[in-house]
Structure 1
C-alpha cells in the first residue's frame, strides 16, 4: 500500500524545522560539548558524518587520534525518538557484554536542546554493501555478476553475526533493559521499523500501538496483524484506489489477523531471540584489503522477537528492501532463490565450524529452519507481518490460498470473516472512499508533543 503523500509532506516539514532548530543551537558547539561530556580530551575538528534514514551525525576527532560519533535522532524521521534511543543503547550494551559481535562502544546518551542523542566510538571501514551492489542501478541491489566465491565470503561473515545474535534467549517479546544490579530483562513493547514507518508516513496515532511486552508469539503476531488494520483505517490518502480495492485490502487484513494466532506452535511461549529489523550488509563495515568485518552498527529496531523471525530466511540477500522488490514476486524469487542456496551453504559451514569449536549447540543451528521457511510459508508470513508496504502483494501471492484454500471470488473470501467484520465492511469502505475524496490529514499531536515521544 502506498504511503500517504500528505503525511510524507508533513514529515518533511517537521524535519526541516528540526534542522533549523539544530543549526540555531550552534550544532558544532553543541556537538563538541556533548563529546567532551562523555569522552574527555582535546577535540581538534568536528565535521558532519554520513547520515542514515533516522539520524543526523557528526564526527569529532581528538588530538590523541581518537574519533567518536555524536548522533542525533531526527524529528520528522523517527516518531518515537526517545524510546528508539533507549532501546538501541540498551541492546548495544547487551551485545557488547554477551556476544562476540563487534560493535561501536556506547560512551553515553541523553537529552539535549535538540532531543535525544548518543555518543559512541567511530568504526572506520567500508560498507560491505559497497562491494556487493550493482553500480549501474539507482536502487541498491545485488550485482548479479559478482563471483560466487566473493558472495559466499560475504554471506559467511553475515551468517556468523546472525548465529551469534540468535543465541541469547528471553522469556518475553519486547525491548531490553538492565537493572541496577546488572541483570537484563524485557520490560516493554518492541519498537519496530514498521511501527515507525506507518506512524511517520501513514499518520497512525502513536496511541494505537500496544505498550506492554508480550508473553507469547500468538499475541504478538495478532498485534502486528492489528497494525496492518490500523494502517488501512487511519491512512486517509493514497490507501485505496476504488471500492473493490478497498474491500480486498480489508478482507486480506481481517483474514491475516485470523491466521496470525495459528502460525506459532512449537515456539509460541519462547524462548524468544534477539532480532534486528534493519540488519543488512549496508550496516556492516569491512576493511578494504581482505574484506574482513570490522563491525556492525545501527542496532535500532532490535528486540527480543518470536523465534519464527530468526528461523525465516533473510530478506536482505539481494540488498533491496522489500518495498523495492518488483510487484511480481515470482520474478523476485527467480533472483532470490539461487542466492539463498549460496547463503545456506555458507551458513552450514559456519554452523559446523562453531559446533566444532564448542560455541554453538546443534539446537541453535538455523540453516534447516531457514530452508524450510520457503516451503512452509514462514518466510512470507514473517515478511507480511513486519512490512506494511508489501503486505497486500505478499498476502495474495503466498498466504491466502495456503491457509484458506483455492481462491474463487472476493465475496466468497468475505464470507470467512466474523459476523462483526462483515457487518462493518460496507461502512468501512464508504468511509475510506470519502476520506480519499476529501484530501485532508488528521492532526493527532502537535510538534512539541511529537518531540517528547
Structure 2
C-alpha cells in the first residue's frame, strides 16, 4: 500500500484510525495520509506514527490547516516518529490552495526550513502546482525543502504573484531537470526567458511551453549555446514556422511532438516529416492556411508513426461557415498515398477540410490493420461502403470512429439521399468491435437515422454501453482526470484535481453505440432524440417502460387505454366532483399552456385541468390503476402525507392539496386528488442546454434549496410516509418506479422485500436495505425472460456477481443505523415547473417519494443531459463532476451556509462523488437493469481484453454458472419468438395489445401438444433448479 485516505468520520474516531493503520502489513510503505475536512490532535499522532507526508488537500479552514501543519512539524522536530526514514513520498502536490495566509505560512522559511530538516532526506522528485496562488517565497521554500525535484508540473503561471526571475531561479536550481510542463501561461515574456535555459539542459526529456517563442529568441539561443535539447523526446511548443525550421537539428530525436505554428510557410510539414523517429504527432495550423497536399504527403516518411493528429485551428470546435474556409484539394488517391506508409498506425485524426469518400476508409482498412481510432473530416460517404464486396470486416480492431458530418454537406446544407437501414447494417458488418461512433453536425434527419439504426444494430449485438444524447456535438475531452473532489476557498475553482485542463462544458464528448438500443422521440421537444435501451424508465411521453419486456408492456398499455377511455366518457362527472369537493357551484375545463389541452396523461396518473366558478385553477389527478402494482389509494395517501409534511416543514414549492378522496372501491373516481394549479413552464433537456449561464444559476439556486431541505428531513426507519396521530411517520414499505415495473412483470420484488423487514414491518438498517436490493436485482435477473442477450448470458451473470463484490466496498458500516432521509424519487425536469427566470415554482409528482439511507440521497444526475448508463463510463462521470455538478455543488455550499450555517449536504456529496462513483452504485442497486452497464463501463471498457480472462475464470469456478447462462439465453430466444408472434398478430389484424404471457404459454403448449399448465411448468422448472443451486452457492449480499 502506498496511499491511504481517511475520511472525516475516521478522523473523528482516532481509535478506529489507529486500528486501521496498525493492520497494514508494512506500515512504513504508507507514503501519504490524505486528511479530510477536520483536524483532530490524537488522529494526527496516529497518522504521524505510521504515515509520512500529510496531504493537506481537504483540511479547512485555514486555521485548521495551520494547526495540522504546526502539529506535524512539531512532531518532526521532536523526532517522535519511529523511524528517521519517514519521508518516503516521491510526489508533492499543491492543489486548489487559494488562501494567501496558508501560502504565507508554508513560505515561512524561518519556521519550516529549520523545523523540517528531516524532509531534506526525502526522495521527492516531482512537484505539481495546480490552480494555487503562489509567490516568490513559496518557490524558495520548496527549493530549500526538496532539492531533488526533477519533474515540475505547473497548471498556470500567475504573473501577478510570481516574478519571472523567481520561477526561473527555481527551475535553474534543479540539478537534474527531466521534465517541465507548463499548461498555461499568461505572459509570453516568461517563455522567452525559460526557453534558452531549457534548451541547454542535458537531462531534459519532456518540455511543454505554451508561450509564443519568437524567432529572435531561437536565433539568439542557437548562437550562444550551440548544442540544444540533447536528450529531448517529448515537446509541446508554439512558435513561428521559420523558428521551428531553425531547430530541426536538435529535434531529430523527438518521438512525441505537438506543435502549433503562429504563421505559415509552405515547408512546415516538410520540416516535420524529416523527424523520422516520431511516433506521435499533433499539428495545429492556422485556420486560414490553404494546405498544399504536397506537404501533407511528405509526412509519409514518418514510418514509425502510431498516432497522427492533423488539424487546422478552429475545425475541432463549432462548424465554420463556407466563406471562412477554402476546401483542400485532397482526394482519395492522395489520402491512400499518405496512409499506405503507416502500417503501424493506431490512431488517426485528420480534420483538415478535404473531399473524401468511402474509398478513404477502404484505404485505411487495407494499409493500417491496427487502427483503433479514426477521426475524419466532413462528407465522408459511408454509404459507399455498401458497394465494396472485397471483404466483410474492414477494421477488425477499430473501436472509435468519429466523423465531422455523416450525410449533411457542411457547405451547401443539402442532405445526401440515404438508406439508413442499409447504412446501419453495413456499419455493424464492417466494424465488429466499434464501441464509439461520434458524429458532429447531424441535426437534419437524425431521428430518421436513429429509428432505422436500432433494429439492425440489435441483430449484431455490439457490446456498446452508452446511448446517444439529444445533443450530438462532439469534441475531444482532454484528460485523464485523477484525484478527488476538493474543498475550495473560492467560487472559481473547478472542484476536481486534474492532470490537464479541466474541461469546459463544450469539451465533453458523447460515446454512443448500439446493443439493444431503442429510439423514441421525446414528446417534449420536436428537435431532440430521446433514447432508451433495456433500462426501465419513465419516458417523457408518459409510457411505462417495463424493463424491456414488451409482452407485458403491451398488455399494461392496452388495459391503461381502456381505463382512460372510461374516464374520458365521464368528464361531466369529473367536473361536478371537482366543484363539489372545492365548495363551488360549477367548474369547467381549461387548456393548459404546458400541454396544449385540458387533459394529459403521465405514466401513472390521468390529469384534468379545471377552472372553478370563482376563477381558481386546479388540477385533478386520478391514478392509472392498470399501470400500478400497488394499491392506488395507499399510494395516494403516502403522496398526500409527504406533500402536507413538506408544506408545513419546508419552503419547497409543493402544490397545495385542495381536496382528495381515498376509498377502497372499483370506481376510478373513488381515488383522486385535487391540487392547486401552478403557472409556469417545464424545461426540456434541449432548452436546458441552450439556457444562458445566469439563468441556469437561478435554476440551480432553487433546486439546491429543494435538495438541502430534503436532506434534513430525517426519520427513524426506511419506508414511505403516512399520516399518524402526531403528524407524519414511516408507515409503509418503500415503493419505487422500478419495483412497480418489476411487480407488473411478475418478478415479485415485494415478496423479497417483505422478508427483509422485522415483525413490525419496519426496516432500520442501511446495510440490510442494500442487501435487500441486491437480492431483488438478482432475483429479477433470474426471472426476467429477456435479462440477457443471446451469446452474452455468462457475461451478464458475471457482471451481477462483480457488482455484488463492488457494493461491498461501497457500503459504509458506520451509517448502518442512519440517518434515513426523504427523497423525491423522480426529480427530473418533467416534474419541475419554473417561471420565466427559471426559478423553481413547483415540484410535482411526489408519488414515489420515500425515506432511504443517506447513501441513496443522490444529486441530480441529469444536469449534463446524460442518463445513468452514459455516466457509468468513467470519462463521462468525470466530465459531469468537473462541469455541471461542480457548478451545482458550489451553489449548494453557498445556499446551505445561508440557510443553516453549515455544509452538511455539500460535504456528503463531495465525498460521494469520489467514493467509487457512489450515486451510480445507488442507482444500479435500485435499478437492476443498470447493473450490467455499470460494471462493464467501470471495469472493462478501457481494457476489454480483461473481460475474456475474467469470464473464463468465473465459469471455471462453478460449472453451474455456464448452465444458468445457457438457460437465460434460451429464455431470451423464446421471448423473441413470442414477440414475433405478437407482431405477426398485429399484421393479421388481431388485437395483440391484449396478448399476455399466459396466452403465449397457451400458444407454446398448442405447438407442443401439451396442456397449458405443463407448458408453463416445463418452461421454468429446469431454470428454477439451476437458479436455486447457484443461489445456494452465491448470494449477492454484502455479507458474503
TM-score range normalised by the length of the shorter chain: 0.7 to 0.9
1:425 Cα deviation from its structure 2 partner:
2.4
Distance 1:327 1:161 in 2: 25
Q: 1:287 aligns with which of 832, 835, 838?
A: 835
SS in structure 1 opposite 2:883? helix
SS in structure 2 opposite 1:270? coil
Whether contact under 8 Å (2:680, 2:835) holds in the other structure is yes
Alignment of 1:189 with 2:733, yes or no, is: yes
Cα deviation code 1:172-223 (max 9, x no counterpart): 11011222x23332123110121123334x4423654414442111111111
The equivalent residue for 2:888 is: 343
Distance 2:582 2:855 in 1: 40
Distance 1:391 1:254 in 2: 10
Alignment of 1:432 with 2:959, yes or no, is: no
The equivalent residue for 1:273 is: 821
- Structure 1's 415 and 400: CA in aligned 2 closer, same or farther, altered over 3 A? farther
Whether contact under 8 Å (2:872, 2:920) holds in the other structure is no
The equivalent residue for 1:419 is: none
How many corresponding residue pairs? 411
Cα deviation code 1:274-306 (max 9, x no counterpart): 012201233222223x33332211112111111
Cα deviation code 1:328-381 (max 9, x no counterpart): 56346535641111111111111121135xxxxx3x621122122222121221
1:414 Cα deviation from its structure 2 partner:
5.5
1:22 Cα deviation from its structure 2 partner:
2.4
Q: 2:904 aligns with which of 359, 365, 372?
A: 365
The equivalent residue for 2:701 is: 156
More moved, 32-41 vs 87-96? 32-41
> Which structure is richer in relative contact order (CA contacts within 8 A, separation 6 or more)?
1
Q: 2:765 aligns with which of 201, 212, 216?
A: 216
Q: 2:859 aligns with which of 313, 335, 340?
A: 313
- Structure 1's 128 and 94: CA in aligned 2 closer, same or farther, altered over 3 A? same
Q: 1:204 aligns with which of 714, 725, 747?
A: 747
Taking the TM superposition and a 5 Å limit, the aligned residue runs for 1:42-441 are 42-46=585-589, 48-82=598-632, 83-106=634-657, 107-111=659-663, 113-114=667-668, 117-130=671-684, 133-135=685-687, 142-143=688-689, 145-179=690-724, 181-200=725-744, 202-205=745-748, 207-211=750-754, 212-237=761-786, 239-243=787-791, 245-260=792-807, 263-288=811-836, 290-310=837-857, 312-319=858-865, 321-322=867-868, 325=870, 330-331=875-876, 333-334=878-879, 337-356=882-901, 362=902, 365-377=904-916, 378-398=918-938, 408-413=949-954, 422=958, 424-439=960-975, 440=978
The equivalent residue for 2:40 is: none
1:101 Cα deviation from its structure 2 partner:
1.3
- Structure 1's 275 and 415: CA in aligned 2 closer, same or farther, altered over 3 A? farther
Whether contact under 8 Å (1:218, 1:261) holds in the other structure is no
- Structure 1's 309 and 205: CA in aligned 2 closer, same or farther, altered over 3 A? closer
- Structure 1's 320 and 199: CA in aligned 2 closer, same or farther, altered over 3 A? farther
- Structure 1's 398 and 30: CA in aligned 2 closer, same or farther, altered over 3 A? farther
The equivalent residue for 1:139 is: none
- Structure 1's 150 and 292: CA in aligned 2 closer, same or farther, altered over 3 A? closer
1:56 Cα deviation from its structure 2 partner:
0.6
Distance 1:256 1:328 in 2: 15
1:320 Cα deviation from its structure 2 partner:
5.1
More moved, 269-278 vs 372-381? 372-381
Cα deviation code 1:389-442 (max 9, x no counterpart): 4221112323799xxxx86412334678xxxxx465244223322322323564
- Structure 1's 55 and 424: CA in aligned 2 closer, same or farther, altered over 3 A? farther
Distance 1:256 1:172 in 2: 26
SS in structure 1 opposite 2:789? coil
Whether contact under 8 Å (1:166, 1:274) holds in the other structure is yes
Distance 2:654 2:601 in 1: 18
Distance 1:161 1:117 in 2: 28
Distance 1:222 1:115 in 2: 39
Taking the TM superposition and a 5 Å limit, the aligned residue runs for 1:440-451 are 440=978, 442-443=997-998
SS in structure 1 opposite 2:601? coil
Q: Which runs of 5+ in 1 are unaligned?
A: 136-141, 357-361, 417-421, 445-453
Whether contact under 8 Å (2:714, 2:820) holds in the other structure is yes
SS in structure 2 opposite 1:72? strand
Distance 1:250 1:37 in 2: 56
Distance 1:281 1:150 in 2: 15
Q: 1:35 aligns with which of 578, 581, 592?
A: 578
1:257 Cα deviation from its structure 2 partner:
3.6
Distance 1:44 1:86 in 2: 25
Whether contact under 8 Å (2:777, 2:927) holds in the other structure is no
Whether contact under 8 Å (1:104, 1:120) holds in the other structure is no
More moved, 274-283 vs 28-37? 28-37
Whether contact under 8 Å (2:652, 2:843) holds in the other structure is yes
- Structure 1's 34 and 424: CA in aligned 2 closer, same or farther, altered over 3 A? farther
SS in structure 1 opposite 2:625? coil
SS in structure 1 opposite 2:814? coil
Distance 1:321 1:54 in 2: 21
SS in structure 1 opposite 2:626? coil
Distance 1:122 1:329 in 2: 43
SS in structure 2 opposite 1:121? strand
- Structure 1's 423 and 70: CA in aligned 2 closer, same or farther, altered over 3 A? farther
TM-score w.r.t. length of structure 2: 0.37
Distance 1:91 1:157 in 2: 19
- Structure 1's 125 and 232: CA in aligned 2 closer, same or farther, altered over 3 A? same
Q: Which runs of 5+ in 2 are unaligned?
A: 1-532, 535-547, 591-597, 755-760, 979-995, 1000-1040
1:57 Cα deviation from its structure 2 partner:
0.6
Distance 1:67 1:409 in 2: 60
Distance 1:203 1:336 in 2: 37
Larger-gyration structure (1/2): 2
Higher helix proportion, which one? 1
TM-score w.r.t. length of structure 1: 0.81
- Structure 1's 74 and 50: CA in aligned 2 closer, same or farther, altered over 3 A? same
- Structure 1's 326 and 354: CA in aligned 2 closer, same or farther, altered over 3 A? closer
1:110 Cα deviation from its structure 2 partner:
1.6
1:155 Cα deviation from its structure 2 partner:
1.0
Whether contact under 8 Å (1:156, 1:346) holds in the other structure is yes
- Structure 1's 230 and 29: CA in aligned 2 closer, same or farther, altered over 3 A? farther
Whether contact under 8 Å (2:564, 2:606) holds in the other structure is no
Whether contact under 8 Å (2:576, 2:587) holds in the other structure is no
Whether contact under 8 Å (2:764, 2:817) holds in the other structure is yes
